Structure 1
Amino acid sequence: MTLTGLYVPLITPFDDNDKVALDALEKLAVDTLTAGAAGLVALGTTAEPSSLSEAERRTVLDVVAGVCHAQNAQLIVGANTPDALAKLTDRTAAALTLVPPFVRPGERGVVAYFEHLAAVSPVPLVAYHVPYRTGQSLSAATIRRLAAIRAVVGIKYAAGGIDEDTVDLMAEQPADFAVLGGDDPFIAPLLALGATGGILASALVAPAEFAALLDAYREGDLGTARPLGHKLAKLSRALFAAPNPTVIKAVLHACGTIPTPAVRLPLVQPEASIVRTARELADPRSSGLR
């Protein structure tokens, strides 16, 4: 399978009664795809999955899967264990699977773990490499070992910037393996190095602009890509100035896209000044950057 273009990890909107706002979720999914996204990510970290009940997770997945099917778009689902993977169906293009967090199993352990998951998963895997959350670094050589696992079709690459391993990986990318940028402020330089796309929460606020950025790099239109990349990096920094997705939710609510800015513990509302700065940079209702 081929994973290219913009994939947007959806939030889980809540209503005034702390219930999942399913109508708002469905509209957000439709609008994001209409604006140019290639697919959606359900139950990624942006969706606050650990704060959802099993029933809520099933309902969210049903809604997003229905939208993707109707729009002929790809669906990626956050799933990190054999049990979670076993529940996925053919409605899912791939699972977004986190490198084992906290235990720091070492690079050999990471490869062994993904070999095990690949053997039991009913869908292809996209490894989620985010060392500042997991505590586990991966070298370019190890990522190539992951790419050699038949069912591992790509990586959400969120290494915290552009370092030597990034340059090494991008200089010799594995064949038929998607490198999807996952650090929103650094997506432009990663695309310039040859990334095939991005999984970008900031695109909830400006989906058309992020889709245009990816298109511009794919087409070699640097006159469009460079200034747009600068603007989107500034927007992303503002949206991630407090723990994700608190600022994104606050901005979407302020512009009438979702019914409340509510997040569930352990997340709390961001400071008003942070939201104000983010709102000054984008208008989610028109997907127009200021």
Structure 2
Amino acid sequence: MTLTGLFIPLITPFDAGGAVALDSLEALARRMLEAGASGLVALGTTGEPSSLTEAERQAVVDVAAIVCREHDAKLIVGAGTPQALEDLRGRGEVHAALTVVPPFVRPGEAGTIAYLTQLAANSPVPLVIYHVPYRTGQALSASALTRLGSLPGVVGVKYAAGITEDAIELMAALPPHFAVLGGDDLFISPLLALGAQGGILASAHLATEQFVALIDAWHTGDVATARALGHRLARLSRALFAEPNPTVIKAALHAQGLIPTPAVRLPLLPAGHHSLTALDVLIPA
């Protein structure tokens, strides 16, 4: 299985009573895929999974699975523990699990590799490693990611570590069938220029078609189009991440009438009005 193109880590919309708005989630998922996204990510960080009940998490996955099946799209589900991965057994519509590098513990590269190797060996679905060191506190070198990418149960990495020497080294010698999907929205264009296969981009809830076009432009060698789009979408991403994710994205979707409320659950707080105002000139018509 090769992962390529745009994947959108779905927000979880809430209704006026605070419940998960499943109808809005379904409509939003359809909108993203009809705009050209290759697939969806359910229960990623953008979906606030830690604030959902087990029943809510299952309902979110069920909705995403239905829509992906309708559109012949790939579904990735956030799952970072042995039990969460085991819960995906028998769910044939799930193509891979997005598995974060162990946060907070900071076990070092050797411990991280050993842990993820064990998870991959026992998982019922392939893993996409989520490398986001500014959240987990655990950096991984290009050589560590290459080792993980060589495992038969690992198909890719969501790379959210900016553009560094490690990123350049990783892109220069990727293992076969190992996809690099950019996950640091601000840096997606330069990572695609280095050869990334696609992105898992929360910003693509807005301007979905333009993010699809950005990936296509780099893949087809249309550098002039890619550069112009990349600069424009980087400004959009910066504005969407002006406050903790996904607060500004939810505010923007609500302002467009795509979700019933801009609500988030604690410990997040709703985005301020100033953040939404700053988006007015950045969101394509």
TM superposition score category, shorter chain reference = over 0.9
Residue 59 of structure 1 corresponds to 59
Residue 41 of structure 1 corresponds to 41
Q: Render the CA deviation track for 1:22-48: whole Å, top value 9, x for unaligned.
A: 111000000000000000000000000
Correspondence 1:177-192 to 2 at 5 A: 177-192=178-193
Structure 1 residue 127: Cα displacement: 0.1
Q: Render the CA deviation track for 1:206-231: whole Å, top value 9, x for unaligned.
A: 11000000000110011211101000
Instruction: Point out the more displaced range, 168-177 or 76-85.
Output: 168-177
Give the distance between the partners of 1:158 and 1:26, measured in 2 at CA.
Answer: 27
Correspondence 1:149-228 to 2 at 5 A: 149-159=151-161, 161-228=162-229
Structure 1 residue 56: Cα displacement: 0.4
Structure 1 residue 131: Cα displacement: 0.1
Residue 81 of structure 2 corresponds to 81
Which amino acid counterpart does residue 241 of structure 1 have in structure 2? A
Give the distance between the partners of 1:177 and 1:229, measured in 2 at CA.
Answer: 24
Q: Render the CA deviation track for 1:236-260: whole Å, top value 9, x for unaligned.
A: 0000010000000000001101000
Residue 104 of structure 1 corresponds to 106
Provide the aligned length of Structure 1 versus Structure 2: 283
Structure 1 residue 176: Cα displacement: 1.3
Give the distance between the partners of 2:57 and 2:50, measured in 1 at CA.
Answer: 9
User: Secondary structure, in 3 states, of the residue corresponding to 1:84?
Assistant: helix
Give the distance between the partners of 2:280 and 2:200, measured in 1 at CA.
Answer: 22
Which amino acid counterpart does residue 106 of structure 1 have in structure 2? G
- TM-score relative to the length of structure 1: 0.96
Unaligned runs of 5+ in 2: none
Structure 1 residue 170: Cα displacement: 1.1
Identical-residue share of aligned pairs (%): 65
Give the distance between the partners of 1:6 and 1:62, measured in 2 at CA.
Answer: 21
Residue 236 of structure 2 corresponds to 235
Task: Assess if the C-alpha contact under 8 Å between 1:251 and 1:279 holds in 2.
Answer: no
Residue 285 of structure 1 corresponds to none
Give the distance between the partners of 2:213 and 2:251, measured in 1 at CA.
Answer: 24
Residue 69 of structure 2 corresponds to 69
Give the distance between the partners of 2:194 and 2:265, measured in 1 at CA.
Answer: 37
Task: Assess if the C-alpha contact under 8 Å between 1:5 and 1:38 holds in 2.
Answer: yes
Structure 1 residue 279: Cα displacement: 3.2
Structure 1 residue 58: Cα displacement: 0.7
Residue 131 of structure 1 corresponds to 133
Structure 1 residue 101: Cα displacement: 0.2
* Matching of residue 268 in structure 1 with residue 262 in structure 2: no
RMSD: 0.8
Give the distance between the partners of 2:121 and 2:174, measured in 1 at CA.
Answer: 24
Give the distance between the partners of 1:120 and 1:147, measured in 2 at CA.
Answer: 16
Structure 1 residue 174: Cα displacement: 1.8
